[in-house]
Amino acid sequence: MTQLFLQLAQSVTGNVITIVALELAAAIIGYVIAWYYARSVYTPVIKGLEDEKASLNNQIIKLTGEVESLTKQVSDLDGKIKKLTEDLASKAEEIKKLEAEAGPVGKYVISKAKSGEKYFNLKATNGQVILTSVMFPSEDDCTNGILATRGSCIDDNMFERKLSSNNKHFFNLKSPEGSIVGKSEIYESQVKMEKGIASVKRNGISTIVVEE
């Protein structure tokens, strides 16, 4: 009887061990299957996210370079603006000084052409026309031309000395941008032309503007 119970106990223990072993094997197989499934499904997703991350990092690097370039351009422009402001202040001081030294000066006379365009004559204190402007489409443009003349007349480099087709002397006055704002009369000699330029330098700083 005792032997029968021992055999039965051994049989039950063996079955339990077998069942546990089978469950462990099933768990291992399930884990392996799940791992392969997860790898097949999520690995491409992870790779795609990593590629997007790398692409975004490249874009950030590129944008950072562009920002640095734009910052440098802004810095350069600030430097140019500062220099132009200083030049403008210097010109204003020169004009102010010349006005104080020159004494009585001429005037700008704005007139209307038959075409409806505006132009001005710079007249010396004796009433002589020493510079005639180009035609302007509006009075505002004409006024801007006068301002350009006031700024350019103190700089000898703005005077373009020329010879006409019959070898007579005359000069053009250019704006800081390089366009012609006014022309002189025709002179018989270079000496007279230089006197005309000197007169424009002296009278061109005038702030007197009238209309006819």
Radius of gyration, CA atoms only, the chain: 46
Domain boundaries defined on the chain: 105-211
The pLDDT value recorded for residue 1 is 61
Sequential pLDDT tens for the chain (212 residues): 666 555 655 565 666 677 766 777 777 887 778 777 766 766 777 777 888 888 888 888 888 888 888 888 888 888 889 887 887 787 777 766 665 655 678 999 999 999 999 999 999 999 999 999 999 999 999 999 999 999 999 999 999 999 999 999 999 999 988 999 999 999 999 999 999 999 999 999 999 999 98
The pLDDT value recorded for residue 111 is 96
Paired residues of 173 in beta bridges: 159, 182
Q: What is the model's pTM?
A: 0.53
- Nearest CA to 151 among 73, 96, 209? 96
The pLDDT value recorded for residue 101 is 57
Strand order across the beta sheet in which 107-112 lies:
159-163, 169-174, 180-183, 129-133, 118-123, 107-112, 209-211
Cα–Cα distances (Å) from 85 to 48, 135, 151, 207, in that order, read 54, 29, 14, 21
Residue carrying the six token digits 């402001």: 85
Instruction: Give the per-residue SS3 of 168-190.
Output: CEEEEEECCCCCEEEECCCECCH
Give the CATH class of 105-211.
mainly beta
- Report the greatest alpha carbon distance in the chain: 154
